[in-house]
A and B are shown apart, each in its own frame.
Chain A
Amino acid sequence: MNDFYLIGALPWWLVALVGIGATALLVQQFINLRQRLALGQTVFLTFLRACVYAGLVFFLLGPALIDKRVTKLRRPLTLLIDTSQSMGFPASAKTAPGDKTAKSRLDLVRDKLEAGQAPLIQKLNRDYDLRVIRFGTSLEPVAPGSLARLRPQDPGTRLLELLQRATRDPAARSGVIVFSDGITNGEMQSLDGAGALAAPVFTVGVGDTEGFTDVRIAKFGAPEFAFRGREFKIDLTVQAFGMKGRSVPLFFNRGKNLITTRTIAIDADPFEQKVTLSFTPKELGTHAFSVSIPAQPNEQITQNNRKEFKVDVRRDKIRVLTLSGSPAWNYRFLRMAMKQDPLIELVSFVFLRTPTDTVDVPENQLSLIPFPIDDIFLEELKNFDVIVLDDFSHRAYFNPVYLERVRDYVRDGGGLAMLGGSRAFDSGGYGDSALREVLPVELDGKGNYQARGNVHAALTAAGKAHPITRLLPDPKSNEETWSKLPELTGLNQVRGVRGETLLTAAGDGTQSNAPLLAVGRFGKGRTLALMTDDAWRWNFIAVGKKETPQNHLKLIRQAVRWLAQEPAFEQVQLYPIPTPQPAEKVTIKLKVLNDDYTPTRQASIQLRVFSPEGEPTLVSTGPDGEEGEYSGDFTPTKEGTYRVEAEASAGGKTLGKDKTSFTAAFSYGETDDGLPRPDLLKKIAEASKGEYLSINDWNEKSFEKIAARLEAIAPSEIVEQRQTRLWSNLWPFGVILALLSVEWWMRRKWGLI
């Protein structure tokens, strides 16, 4: 269909001015012609000229014929459906706790879109270019027909970030409809400063706030590690909704053992109270703790009533227990060495009296304390890192059965040192005790203690490289230092060595190359045997020779560290691993040292990562950073605790092992807070010029209202038009030319030209 339009580019006033000018010219022409011609001739010629002027003015107005064609399109429509875990919470605040038939928030959304004989989702799919996108931590398009398969599965809700991204899509420019409970826990918590949304957002709020009842542990903070024997604190906030007037217990547990209970009196709605709990760990290792509030009557969400966390209890000091058979100079200087070492915490028992010693005063005038055998061997043993039996025989003081505990303690990772003397090794009756199984020397019950002879200590090949006997970094200087150390005057004979000999003894009255210092590894633990009670001479006699006592002090400190498996003394050391999110690559680094504690250049490393279910993955490694450092990349696929084990070898010899663990976790805390946030949804709608409505008000009519808004924002028709300009062809000019030609011819005929 063609419509006539005037589309001239000149302003109307100019056209009118031209028209007035033309009229004035016509009047003047009429007056001039009337003086020379008859009235009929004058009118005829003036009419011709008026036609010409009228044509010119008309063409100035831009007359055109326009042909319009209207095309109807399918409107694009984007539905965003929140499938975060909080959408699995009950939709109604009146749901009874534990009611498994209760509809979740996501169920309600599904019902609204799919219920009835003519489901709305089908109608939308038919009438619109429908896109359905589920979201939580990312946008995932889904088929409109697959709503039934949606699950509240996403571990977090990045509502605002994802809305910004979704509205930038050209297909969603006219607006989007969002079904959500409004809970957001991404980086953006509000629209402030976030910039405007690129399209109107129509938000549909899911979940009741009226009558919402919940108590939860929020804003939880616990240390990842703590020191043994030192109190650590955890801070948390208890929040409650709809529970004013109630009191709830808060339990703090280690594993299944209750540590403490607090009663929280809820005196407001909403309610919030900060709570600080503390605990002093006594055992090393990773311990699981929990804080929890029992499910309360009518509480909708119970998942957020409990927080579980792990604390890696480390030692701030190496705890050493020494049992000395009697006061002796060896104890005196051993004690001095340990007391001067800030890393060592010493607990010592010196047996000042034997059962045959008599006293001349009542017991209460003696400072002697009873040796707490049961406490030490049944309770406290595991809390020590190293046990030193210093010229000590168990026979006079306790049942040998207790030594089985010490043997097991070593196999479980403890350190044990036996120092010589007339009460040690075979002389102390250890040849037929359980300790024989874990000592690095062989006992046969026949070995004697020899108090005669001048004994020289000599480094063995193993001793030259071992961290215990490495008094100086330079091997030559170290060997020279050992050769200059004062002589010893006592030696325990042993049948042989089961571990490594670091020092041998030679001198008057001793067998050639008799072992003087030996070390061994048994189970997870380490043991040391020093076959003399004279090590103090390496200190004090050296002082008398105007030499340093430091060699003895260093030997003691290094021995304690090696026995305690101090990380710096480990040949394979895994570095701490940060907490990644699932699907985030994490680099696992480790350090490998040779037997002489120099970096290992070409180590063969087996690095395995065990998933939370225990499935191992072999991680390939390569050199990294400094010499002796290696690394491998691993990507956890899901949340949970991953165990890492590394074993290194060089030249076919195993250098050592280390293990650690890390946790992969999203940092959203999606199920911590179940309270719907309609306020945020309203703000989003308002800020984007959309509209908010509760899902309870959602129906076909309300959708039509939204559809009308969408139509107003961007009509769904496309109009095509074709213009035909009437002045831009030869005909108008031909007519004007013809009129002027007739006028010229008539003027000529009537003698005016």
Chain B
Amino acid sequence: MNRRQFIRLFSQGLLGAGLMPALIEAAEPDDKRRLQFVFAQIKYRGGDWNPHPLSVTPLMEELMARTSVEAASARREVTLGDGDLFNYPFLYLAGRYEFDPFSQEEIETLRRFLTYGGFLLIDDALGQQGYGFDKAVRREMQRIFPGNDFKRLPSGHAALRSYYLLRRIGGVRIASPNLEGINVGPSTPVIYCQNDLGGAWERDQVGKWTNACTPGGEAQRKDAFHLGINIILYAMTENYKDDLIHVPFIRKRLTR
């Protein structure tokens, strides 16, 4: 039973006892609620596409517990050649090692995907700039968006404010205190983290954390979850938090 199911059962119990207002009942999803979000992870050739096989479910549980997003708890594994790739506008690309170059058709597909509204989160489990996975990622991104390099995301980027007001970037290790991204027009459809986010999200079968987060420990892990949630909400709401109506509230909270 996940947290959300527990809350639902608990609420129904309270309702039965007449202790909770109908308001809460109304807010509960019915059984036919659709899953709005599916975490799709790219399988690629060469390297290691799956460094943390159990990382997604903890993140999805956290996402559903903290936000109104209805998400599938398990990830969806896709290849860039899958016919239903565009059913999943959020893609996750992770790895430790250098992988084989994408085919030209895959490059075209990914360019189309990212240009017209899709989103890609890249997570480097190795955390070595210029080596292994990082080297392959930068190479492939140059093929997809020639001349459009990764740029450091500014501290005020909407992805860092889409739910939590983030001041730090979490992960298993702090290989980089900043996120990088590729901008296309007013949005950033590619965000790249080198801190091994998946490693921080991952639990084993009995619920223990697979990897220790250093040097920040559990606070650093919490930051990794917060970042994961923020990036997912950013993908689903784009620059929503840059809308004028949010700016004075966010500015006020950040200056406290």
Partner of B70, one of A326, A393, A541: A326
Tell whether, in the assembled complex, residue A451 and residue B243 are in contact, meaning their CB atoms are under 8 Å apart. Answer: no
The contact of B86 among A346, A353, A395, A544, by CB within 8 Å, is A544
Set of chain B residues within 8 Å of A350, measured between Cβ atoms: 237, 240
4 smallest A-B Cβ distances: which pairs?
A: A544-B86, A395-B26, A396-B27, A326-B68
- B66→A353 contact, CB < 8 A: yes
Which chain A residue lies CB-closest to B24? A355
Contacts A326-B68, A355-B23: A348 and B240 contacting too (C-beta < 8 A)? yes
Q: Chain A 343-387, CB within 8 Å of chain B: the 1/0 string?
A: 000111111111111111100111111000000000000000000
Looking at A58-66, A107-115, A327-335, A494-502, the stretch in contact with chain B turns out to be A327-335
* B164:A326 contact, CB within 8 angstroms: no
Cβ-neighbour of A451 out of B32, B68, B250 (below 8 A): B32
* Interface size range on B against A: 35 or more
Q: Are B27 and A335 in contact (CB under 8 A)?
A: no
Question: B23, B240, B256: which contacts A335 (Cβ < 8 A)?
Answer: B240
Which residue of chain A lies nearest to B232 when distances are taken between CB atoms in the complex? A327
Whether B53 is near chain A, meaning CB under 8 Å from some CB there, is no
Which residues of chain A are within 8 angstroms of B109 by Cβ–Cβ distance?
A: 544
Q: Is the CB of B116 within 8 A of A540?
A: yes
Tell me, rounded to whole Å, the shortest Cβ–Cβ distance linking B22 to chain A: 8
Which of chain B's residues have a CB closer than 8 A to the CB of A742? none
Checking B30, B37, B163, B186 against A366 with a beta-carbon cut-off of 8 angstroms, the contacting residue is B163
Q: Note all chain B residues with C-beta closer than 8 A to A369.
A: 245-246, 249-250
A359 to B112, CA, bound (A): 36
Q: How far is the CB of B248 from chain A (nearest CB, A)?
A: 9
Given B118, B237, B253, which contacts A540 in the complex, CB threshold below 8 Å? B118
Contact indicator per residue, chain A 406-450, by CB within 8 Å of chain B (1) or not (0): 000000000000000110000101000000000000000000111
Q: Are A332 and B26 closer than 8 Å at their CB atoms?
A: no
Can you pick out 29 interface pairs between chain A and chain B where the beta carbons lie within 8 Å of each other?
A325-B68, A327-B236, A329-B89, A329-B236, A332-B237, A339-B186, A346-B243, A347-B243, A347-B245, A355-B23, A355-B24, A356-B24, A356-B27, A364-B165, A364-B253, A365-B165, A367-B163, A367-B165, A393-B26, A395-B27, A396-B23, A427-B30, A449-B30, A449-B32, A450-B32, A451-B32, A543-B112, A544-B85, A544-B87
The reply to whether A335 and B237 contact each other, CB–CB distance below 8 Å, is yes
- Which of A332, A346, A533: most chain B Cβ within 10 A? A332
Determine whether the beta carbon of B27 is less than 8 Å from that of A544.
no
**Contact: B27 with A355, CB < 8 Å?**
yes
Q: A328-B236, A354-B27, A544-B113 are in contact. Are A348 and B70 (CB under 8 A)?
A: no
Q: Which residues of chain B have a CB within 8 Å of any CB of chain A? A: 3-4, 7-8, 11, 23-24, 26-30, 32-34, 36-37, 65-70, 85-87, 89, 109, 112-113, 116-118, 161-165, 186, 222, 226, 232-233, 235-238, 240-241, 243, 245-246, 249-250, 253, 256
Interface residues on A, range: 35 or more
A327 touching B68 in the complex, CB below 8 Å, given contacts A367-B241, A395-B23, A396-B23: yes
Q: Is the CB of A357 within 8 A of B26?
A: no
Partner of A367, one of B36, B235, B246: B246
Please determine whether B117 and A333 come into contact, CB atoms closer than 8 angstroms: yes
Q: Find chain B residues with CB under 8 A from A360 CB.
A: 66, 222
Question: Is the pair A422, B30 in contact by a Cβ cutoff of 8 Å?
Answer: yes
Shortest A419–chain B CB gap in Å is: 13
Q: Is A722 among interface residues, defined by CB-CB distance under 8 A?
A: no
Residues 100-139 of A at the B interface (beta carbon under 8 Å): none
Residues of A within 8 A of B163 (CB): 352, 366-368
Q: Which residues of B contact A339 (CB under 8 A)?
A: 186, 238
B243 to chain A, nearest CB (A): 7
In the complex the two chains form, is A352's CB within 8 Å of B68's CB?
yes
The reply to whether B27 and A367 contact each other, CB–CB distance below 8 Å, is: no
Contact (A422, B243) CB under 8 Å given A329-B89, A367-B164, A540-B118: no
A332 B66 Cβ-Cβ under 8 A: no
- Report whether A541 and B86 are in contact in the complex, using a CB–CB cutoff of 8 Å: yes
User: Could you say which of B36, B85, B161 contacts A326, with CB atoms under 8 Å apart?
Assistant: B36
Distance of B34 from chain A, by nearest CB (Å): 4
Q: Known: A367-B164, A543-B86. Contact between A358 and B66, CB under 8 A?
A: yes
Is A549 a contact of B233 with CB atoms below 8 Å? no
Contact of A331 among B4, B165, B236, B241 (CB under 8 A): B236
Which of B7, B67, B236, B256 sits near A332, CB closer than 8 Å?
B236
Distance in angstroms between the alpha carbons of A489 and B34 in the assembled complex: 10
Neighbouring A residues of B186 by C-beta, 8 Å: 339
CA distance A543 to B87 in the complex (A): 11
Task: From the candidates A327, A335, A533, name the one contacting B69 in the complex (CB within 8 A).
Answer: A327
With an 8 A cutoff between CB atoms, is A476 at the interface? no
Residues of the B chain whose Cβ atoms lie less than 8 Å from the Cβ of A676: none
Q: Do A327 and B30 touch (CB < 8 A)?
A: no
Residues from chain B with Cβ under 8 Å of A353 in the complex:
66-68
Q: How far is the CA of A421 from the CA of B70 in the complex (A)?
A: 12
- Give A369 to B245 CA distance when docked, in angstroms: 9
Contact A549 B36, CB 8 Å, known A326-B70, A347-B243, A353-B68: no
Contact residues in A for B249 (Cβ distance below 8 Å): 367, 369
Q: Which residues of B sit under 8 angstroms from A27, Cβ to Cβ?
A: none
- Give the residues in chain B near A544, CB-CB below 8 Å: 85-87, 109, 112-113
Q: By the criterion CB–CB under 8 Å, are B68 and A357 in contact?
A: yes
Chain A residues whose C-beta falls within 8 Å of the C-beta of B117 in the assembled complex: 332-333, 336, 539-540, 543, 549
Residue among B34, B70, B109, B250 with the most chain A CB within 10 A?
B34
> Could you say which residues of chain A place their CB within 8 Å of the CB of B67?
326-327, 352-353, 357
Which of A329, A367, A368, A427 has the most CB atoms of chain B within a 10 A radius of its CB?
A367
The distance in angstroms between the C-alpha atoms of A549 and B116, with both chains bound, is 8
Question: Does A490 count as interface, using CB distance less than 8 angstroms?
Answer: yes
In the bound assembly, the distance between CA atoms of A117 and B107 in angstroms comes to: 111
User: What chain A residues lie within 8 Å of B27 (beta carbons)?
Assistant: 354-356, 393, 395-396
Residues of B within 8 A of A489 (CB): 34
With A and B bound together, what is the CA distance between A336 and B240 in angstroms? 10
Provide the residues of chain A in CB contact with B34, threshold 8 Å: 421-422, 449, 451, 489-490, 533
Q: Which residues of B contact A549 (CB under 8 A)?
A: 116-117
A348 close to B161 (CB less than 8 A): no
Taken residue by residue from 531 to 544, chain A's Cβ proximity to chain B (1 for < 8 Å, 0 otherwise) reads as 00100000111011
